[in-house]
Structure formats: C-alpha cells, structure tokens
Structure 1
C-alpha cells in the first residue's frame, strides 16, 4: 500500500527518510553529501514521484521505494 508522504507528520517523515538514507549507503561520487542534503534529495524525489512510501502488510514495515520497484 502506498502512503502519501503528505499524510505523515513532518517529524515522522524526516525520521523515515533519515533511516532510509542511512541504510542505503549510496555513493555520491567525488562530492560527499551531508545527511541533510541526502534527506533533502529524497524529499524532492517524493515530491516529484520518483520514490514512494510503501507499507508492507506482510512484513508490517514501511520503506521508501523507487517507482520502478513498487510491489503491486
């Protein structure tokens, strides 16, 4: 199930994004980004629909997933 990011309280959303960013371990190339910059990047991706917040009833968990990885 997709959860609209605007339905979450701001603090909850930021905590979710921070958790996602910290476990992803993404390589940003030669320029290292701060946690805040990474959080801002993911927030912008939520705004434009590149990533979504998905709740899994099977695993009772919430995750941020890229549009092309959404489970039907």
Structure 2
C-alpha cells in the first residue's frame, strides 16, 4: 500500500525519512551529513521520484523509487 507523504504529520515524515537514510546498507560509505540525506529523500518524494510503501504484514514503511513499485499500486 502506498502512503501519500503529504498526509503524514511533519514530525512523522521527518522520523520516517531519518530512519530510512540511516538504515544499514543505505549509506554505502557516504559521509554526507544526515540532514542533507534526509532532504534528498524528501526532495525525491516531492518530485514524485520516490514513494512511501507500507507493508501491512510486517507493519513497516519503506521508501522506494516510484519506478520500482508495481504499476497497479500507482493506479490505486
């Protein structure tokens, strides 16, 4: 299920983005400051390049590139 980012409270979105950019495997040795990585993720959401995916089974949210989610999810 896709969650429209603009429906989240600002603090919730901030925490989600921070969690995503600090997960294992997301930095790849990148020493870019946390605030910059969060803003890059936020910008991708605003531009429609990324989406928030909620998995009901695991009760977890992920950020994904829009091009990587099933087309039918985008049409719902």
Q: What secondary structure, in the 3-state scheme, does the structure 2 residue paired with 1:59 have?
A: coil
Identify the residue that residue 34 of structure 1 maps to in structure 2. 33
Identify the residue that residue 66 of structure 1 maps to in structure 2. 65
Query: Structure 2 unaligned runs (5+)?
Result: none
In the alignment, the residues of structure 2 paired with residue 16 and residue 65 of structure 1 have an alpha-carbon distance, to the nearest angstrom, of 13
- The aligned length equals 69
TM-score, normalised to structure 2, is 0.80
TM-score, normalised to structure 1, is 0.84
Query: Structure 1 unaligned runs (5+)?
Result: none
How far did 1:52 drift?
0.4
